[in-house]
A and B are shown apart, each in its own frame.
Chain A
C-alpha cells in the first residue's frame, strides 16, 4: 500500500504539473526588455498631447534585444497617428503607427529598430494626427524614478508617461530559461554562479515531486505491519 499511495501522490503532482505548469512555461508571451517609466499602479494621470506635440522619456535604457515600445493612449473618438522616435549615440529609430478610435484606455505597441548594442538615450511619442491625444502616466514620485518626461522640450514636474520596452517577438519562458537564470545570477553579486542557479531551479521544479514522494514512501513503509 505504501508504494501505491506514494505513486498516487506522485501521479497527481505530475499530472498537475503537466496541466498547469507546462502551458505556463511554454506559452508565448511579451518579453519586457526594460521599463524606463513604469507608470501607475491603478488610476493614471492623463498627459495631453496636441497635434504635433512630442512627449519624450529620458534617460531610457534601450537594450539591443528591444524591438517595440508600449504606451497607453487615453480613450478617444478619432483615430490617432503617432510617431515613435528613439535616439541614442549611434542609434536612431523612427516609426509611425495609426491607431483606431477606442472608447477605453488602450495599450499601444509600436515597433522600434533594435540598436546595434545596449544604449541609453531618449524615446519620444509624437502626435502626428490632427486631434489631441492623451498618454497615460503617473504623478507618484517613486514610480517616476530617474527618467523624466518632457513635452515639447519642457520637463514635466512630478509627472511621467508610462513606457515599457519589449522584444520584437513573443517568447515562452522555456525558450528564455538561459537568459532568465543568467540575469537572476547576475543580481547575486556573483555569489550564486550561473551553473549553480541553473541546478537549483531544475532541482526544485523537477526534483521536488520525486524527492518528496520518495521520502513519503520511505515513511509509509515503516508504518506497515510486518
Chain B
C-alpha cells in the first residue's frame, strides 16, 4: 500500500550496545567509542561498568542491537566472550548481531575469538573512522 511508511534502507538506523564486561573499571575507551558512534548517527546503548556476560546478553537481546561492542581491558576475554556468545546463541541472536571486541587482545587469542564468532577485534590505535566505516559496512542486513 502506498501509504505504508517505509524507510529508505540506506538510512537505516544502526543500533549498538557498547558493553563493559567483567572486573574491568576502565571505561574511557568505551565512552569515547559511544560518543563517536553517536556522532556517526548510531543509537548507542551503554551498559555501564562491571556487567556480567548474562547482563550483556540480556541487553543485546532486548535492545535488538545490530552491533555489540565488547570492551575488555582486563585480559579475561577468553573467559567472558565465549559466555556472551553462548548466551546470544541461546536466544537466537548470534547470527544477526555483529560482535566486535575492543581492548588489549594478544594476536594468539584473536583467531580463537574469531572462531567463536567475533567479527573483528580493535586494539589500541584503531582509528575511529575505520571502526565506524567497518560498522556501516558490516552491520547485519535484517
A and B: partners?
Answer: no
> B residues within 8 Å of A by Cβ?
none
